[in-house]
Amino acid sequence: MTIVLGAIADDFTGATDLANNLVRSGMRCLQVIGVPGPELEVSDVDAVVVALKSRSCPTDEAVVDSLAALAWLQAQGARQCFFKYCSTFDSTERGNIGPVADALLERLGAEQTVMVPAFPVNGRTVYQGHLFVGDRLLNDSGMQHHPLTPMTDADLVRVLARQTPHPVGLAARPVLAQGAEATRQHLADLAGQGVRHVICDTLDERDLDVLAEACVSLPLVTGGSGLGQALPAQYRRLGWLAEIAEPGRLQPSSGGKLVLSGSCSRATLGQVAHFLERYPGFALDPLALAESDAQWEAALDFARNALERGGPVLVYASADPERVKAAQARLGVERAGQLVERALGQLARTLVSEGVGRLVVAGGETSGAVVSALGIETLRIGEQIDPGVPWTQAQLEEREVPLSLALKSGNFGNIDFFTRAFEVLP
């Protein structure tokens, strides 16, 4: 079994976002959590997305993990590699986008790659190398205040030039407007001048299609999930990929319905309130969790009772900013988060072993904690529930049928996400 596309994503929810777009464009897709071991075998998939945590870790670590992921993807016969980062080019002065792209290029023996972060349907566009979020330049979009990767410069040619010793070039809109052949020629001209990285303008879907056609034969492409949406049509054109009727088809789901929420984002708070108007829920409080196991046990009993009556049921630590701040002031930010993540992870493990088979988790960090508590290494990607959030399935040893999982990062999903997710599940 060989795969067509092998992707390396620099964070967990970014990986899911790309995988979701690949499925929507006709590829059967598996997400692997962390660098895959050599023994991991895949079948019936066209694309694999390896989810790393390499966005803001030390650069050396990001390079080592990315190369290990690449080696495994190459062993699966991947015809093209894709380095996925955020559509807002989240990185620091030193990386990790430039150093990881350089290391991957070198290992692949390739001369050049493209950088296509744009995702026009989400308002991320690039013009003359400048990244916009809606109608604002990146450095005026709020991203300049990001705690880990503040983006204070919207000129991506200049940003990337600080992260790599190699020349950085631009494929500007006027070239793209002439079509894929002219764009390919422009890339070749730049390669002739030794330009290793090419930042690509993108204003709309058409530009993404032109770029996908122009770079489909490169060993490595890099960018956001927008480019991922455009590439599968090119793979089909080249005969690398067959028409697949239902690329997001999962096995029929079964078992209890549980929602666990550790996200305190505005979107999640709305979804929690909406759910509680219809179904039962139990609120966890980090201050009580810090004192004893009593609250955790009460939550478990509550969930068991509701599940016996057919569910769905919600257990949540989600709280408004004042309550979160108060808990953080008493316990410290890290400990408050850890207590909640541990409690939700252990609830997931206990209740899945008792028969929960359909699980929705809200929160990026929370999802990471739950997935690791359940010992999940791979996720098969299914149909989208709301933009960016698909149903997935994981095979667990203790279950005959796979566990259905929806992992929602904080800001995603409509107000009725927690209830609708179960309604759209086959």
Q: Report the interface residues with ligand ADP, using CB under 6 A.
A: 262-265, 268, 286, 317-319, 323-324, 327-328, 336-337, 340-341, 363-366, 409-410
Closest distance of CB 326 from ligand ADP, Å: 8
State how beta strands 5-9 and 80-84 pair: parallel
Pick 104 or 319: Cβ nearer ligand ADP: 319
Distance of CA 256 to the CA centre of its chain: 26
Q: Cβ(122)–Cβ(113) under 8 Å?
A: no
Q: Closest Cα partner for 187 from 173, 200, 206?
A: 200
Closest distance of CB 12 from ligand ADP, Å: 10
* Peptide linkage before 58 cis (omega within 30 of 0): no
Closest distance of CB 269 from ligand ADP, Å: 10
Closest distance of CB 321 from ligand ADP, Å: 10
3-state helix, strand, coil in the chain (%, to 5): 40, 20, 35
Closest distance of CB 148 from ligand ADP, Å: 12
Pick 195 or 326: Cβ nearer ligand ADP: 326
Closest distance of CB 55 from ligand ADP, Å: 13
Pick 216 or 340: Cβ nearer ligand ADP: 340
Q: Is 110 helix (H, G, I), strand (E, B) or coil?
A: coil
Pick 111 or 365: Cβ nearer ligand ADP: 365
**Tokens at 261, concatenated:** 């929420």
Q: Closest Cα partner for 279 from 125, 402, 420, 79?
A: 420
Sequence-ordered list of residues with C-beta below 8 angstroms from that of 281, at least 6 positions apart, any chain: 272, 275, 313, 314, 315, 316
Pick 17 or 341: Cβ nearer ligand ADP: 341
Closest distance of CB 316 from ligand ADP, Å: 8
CA distance 379 to 324: 31
Q: Closest Cα partner for 365 from 225, 267, 260?
A: 260
DSSP class of residue 409 equals -
What is the DSSP code string of 60-109?
Answer: HHHHHHHHHHHHHHHHTT-SEEEEE--TT---BTTBSHHHHHHHHHHHHT
Burial class of residue 232 in the structure, from the number of CB atoms within 10 Å of its CB (0-12 exposed, 13-18 middle, 19+ buried)? buried
Q: Closest Cα partner for 63 from 94, 32, 104?
A: 104
Pick 247 or 262: Cβ nearer ligand ADP: 262
**Tokens at 401, concatenated:** 């049928």
Closest distance of CB 142 from ligand ADP, Å: 15
CA distances from 398 to 80, 209, 257, 349, 351 (A): 35, 44, 17, 11, 12
Pick 121 or 329: Cβ nearer ligand ADP: 329
Please name the helix (run of DSSP H) or strand (run of DSSP E) that holds residue 192, with its range, or none.
helix 180-192
Closest distance of CB 151 from ligand ADP, Å: 18
Pick 328 or 372: Cβ nearer ligand ADP: 328
CA distances from 165 to 3, 10, 86, 158, 374 (A): 32, 21, 22, 12, 42
Pick 87 or 253: Cβ nearer ligand ADP: 87
Pick 163 or 261: Cβ nearer ligand ADP: 261
Closest distance of CB 290 from ligand ADP, Å: 11
CA distances from 3 to 30, 49, 75, 211 (A): 10, 11, 10, 22
- Residue with the CB atom nearest ligand ADP in the bound state: 410
Pick 202 or 225: Cβ nearer ligand ADP: 225
Closest distance of CB 252 from ligand ADP, Å: 29
